[in-house]
Amino acid sequence: MTKDYRLVIDDMLESIAVIESYVQNVDELTFSQDQLIQDAVIRRIGIIGEAARKLPADIQSFASSVPWKSVIGFRNIVIHDYANVSLGQVWDIVVHDLPALKKNIEELRRKLPEVQPPI
């Protein structure tokens, strides 16, 4: 049986696109005051981290510029230490980190071969 990791990467790209739609025309002040947007964005960041966690190191190595440990680590914070999630940090991730992550994940998606080796 082979696992098509492109589907996992597609989950990451979908969550990035959804986050982009949630924060379109939203500034930091609005984000800080809108719990619905906060919760939705944080949930999608968790999905991105969970998907990243499912990618084996050999797949991650195709995108060495992605800070995989940080992506997965922040997922752990939003899932397990949710009371200590910093909204300022979430906003910084959305504004500063997400665009680069999107670019790198799109590049990773293009690099992956059509069929993965058996797991």
Of 4-13, 77-86, 106-115, the poorest mean pLDDT is in 106-115
| pLDDT bracket for residue 74 (50, 70, 90) | very high
| Residues with active-site annotation | 75, 80
**According to the model, what pLDDT value does residue 81 have?**
83
The span from the CA of 19 to the CA of 13, in Å, is 10
Burial class (CB in 10 A: 0-12, 13-18, 19+), 66: buried
Task: Tokens 């922040």: give the residue.
Answer: 74
pLDDT at position 1 over 50: no
Tell me the pLDDT tens digit for each residue of 17-71.
Answer: 999 999 999 999 999 999 999 999 999 999 999 999 999 999 999 899 999 999 9
| pLDDT bracket for residue 114 (50, 70, 90) | low
With H, G, I as helix, E, B as strand and everything else as coil, classify residue 113.
coil
Residue percentage of the chain with pLDDT more than 70: 92
Bridge partners of 2?
A: 118
| Cβ within 8 Å of residue 34, ≥6 positions away | 26
DSSP letter for 112, please.
S
Q: What is the pTM of this model?
A: 0.89
